[in-house]
């Protein structure tokens, strides 16, 4: 790259956008920038190169928002530095110009790192040296691009989700193996503006290898057991996970479109899939320290493709700094899809004190 003029005034109608622009949204903050430029003028040059296909035209390397603000103000020209630069150099310069800015998203960084790696054959180590970061920093950002499937990425809403996620949030979400579950969880993370620690609690940590082996054995065994036993195991394992503050199995077990719930914790109203998960998350967050959930009286009936599970859940938690004990009567309605059973409705109701005594000796764990 070489500079052949310190700066010159270039007509705006001769400047084209950078095909290797670092930012997805070039209009962020343009109105405020235009207001500043109208008062103080253009305080910083933009950087351009001579257009490879036309010597009297130019391509922007960086300064898209300054050019957009100048056009908004009706200016005819902008002050620009003119350089000779290859496509790779354009990409690198745009990256370095934006890398430290707070509104330059992790997803935008990831896209440029990947282009440098795939299109220009730059190794992770080389990219890291260019930006003064570690190889792990580059690799972890590029991993963000594996968060959603190619089909999911056709939805503009999914692109917006990626724009809102940090690299650390994405790294945690990648623990979720099923892409649909991952997408549902990402929506909760963004909509509820969850911090990294909250995302950790929502997704949960992978179990140790011994437990993973045990879970695989359970899955294989379930293929030969009855539907009643399948549902019983799903319920009992679900609350085992929840007791460890891991709500990811709830995302797996509930059918998003069909799901409804009535809960004995406020708000006392019908809840859809997303609202129920948000309520579950906030409820568990309010229970400080360790807590116990005990499932009793589990009974399951199956009617063709529909299953009904009824049981009691005993809570033993710390709530607002004080011990809290309660019991709920619960009904789950299951729907069979293929060989699997999924929850389509939950009804939670508080148990009266007199009823607590009555079921004391009715311990049926299925």
* Last-in-domain residue among 69, 87, 105: 87
Same domain, 197 and 318: no
* Last-in-domain residue among 188, 203, 218: 203
347: CATH: 3.10.450.50
Same domain, 263 and 247: yes
The pTM (predicted TM-score) of the whole model is 0.60
Above 70 in pLDDT, residue 5? no
Residue 247 lies in a domain: yes
What phi, psi does 29 have (nearest 5°)? 75, 15
**pLDDT value at position 27?**
62
Same domain, 81 and 169: no
Above 70 in pLDDT, residue 222? no
CA-based Rg of the chain, rounded to a whole angstrom? 28
Most confident option among 38-42, 323-327, 333-337, 352-356: 333-337
Same domain, 215 and 354: yes
Chain segment 235-276, per-residue pLDDT in tens: 999 888 887 878 888 888 999 888 999 988 887 889 998 889
Above 90 in pLDDT, residue 312? yes
Residue 35 lies in a domain: yes
Same domain, 318 and 247: yes
Question: Where in the sequence is the domain holding 183, given as residue range(s)?
Answer: 147-203
29: CATH: 3.90.1530.10
Within 10 A of 40 (CB to CB), how many other CB atoms are there? 8
Q: How many distinct structural domains can be found in the chain?
A: 3
**DSSP string for 17-54:** --TT-S-S-TTTTHHHHHHHHHHH---S-EEEEE-TT-
Residue 97 lies in a domain: no
Residue 137 lies in a domain: no
Same domain, 167 and 215: no
Same domain, 234 and 338: yes
Above 90 in pLDDT, residue 148? yes
123/292: higher pLDDT? 123
| Mean pLDDT for the chain overall | 82
Strand partners of residue 327: 314
Residue 125 lies in a domain: no
């Amino acid at each position: 790259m070489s500079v052949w003029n310190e700066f010159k005034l270039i007509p705006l109608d001769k400047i084209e956008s950078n095909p290797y622009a670092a930012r997805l949204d070039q209009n962020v903050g343009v109105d405020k920038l235009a207001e500043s430029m109208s008062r103080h003028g253009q305080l910083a040059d933009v950087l351009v190169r001579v257009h490879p296909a036309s010597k009297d035209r130019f391509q922007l390397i960086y300064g898209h928002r300054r050019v957009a603000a100048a056009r908004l103000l009706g200016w005819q020209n902008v002050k620009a530095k003119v350089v000779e630069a290859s496509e790779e150099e354009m990409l690198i310069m745009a990256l370095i110009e934006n890398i430290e800015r707070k509104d330059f998203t992790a997803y935008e960084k990831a896209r440029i790192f990947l282009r440098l790696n795939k299109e220009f054959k730059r190794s992770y180590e080389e990219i890291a040296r260019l930006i003064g970061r570690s190889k792990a920093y580059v690799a972890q950002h590029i991993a963000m691009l594996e968060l959603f499937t190619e089909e999911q990425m056709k939805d503009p809403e999914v692109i917006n989700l990626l724009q809102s996620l940090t690299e650390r949030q994405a790294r945690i979400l990648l623990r979720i193996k099923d892409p649909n579950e991952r997408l549902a969880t990402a929506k909760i993370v963004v909509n509820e503006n969850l911090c990294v620690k909250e995302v950790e609690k929502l997704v949960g940590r992978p179990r140790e290898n011994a437990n993973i082996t045990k879970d695989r054995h359970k899955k294989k065994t379930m293929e030969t057991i009855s539907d009643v036993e399948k549902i019983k195991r799903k319920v009992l394992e679900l609350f085992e996970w929840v007791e460890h503050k891991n709500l990811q199995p709830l995302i797996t077990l509930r059918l998003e479109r069909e799901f409804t719930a009535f809960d004995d914790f406020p708000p006392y109203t019908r809840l859809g899939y997303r609202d129920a998960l948000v309520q579950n998350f906030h409820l568990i967050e309010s229970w400080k320290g360790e807590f116990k959930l005990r499932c009793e009286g589990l009974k399951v009936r199956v009617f063709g493709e529909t299953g009904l599970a009824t049981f009691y859940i005993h809570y033993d938690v710390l709530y607002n700094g004080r011990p809290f004990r309660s019991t709920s009567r619960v009904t789950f309605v299951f729907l069979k899809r293929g060989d699997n059973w999924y929850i389509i409705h939950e009804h939670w109701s508080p148990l009266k004190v007199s009823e607590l005594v009555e079921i004391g000796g009715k311990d049926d764990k299925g």
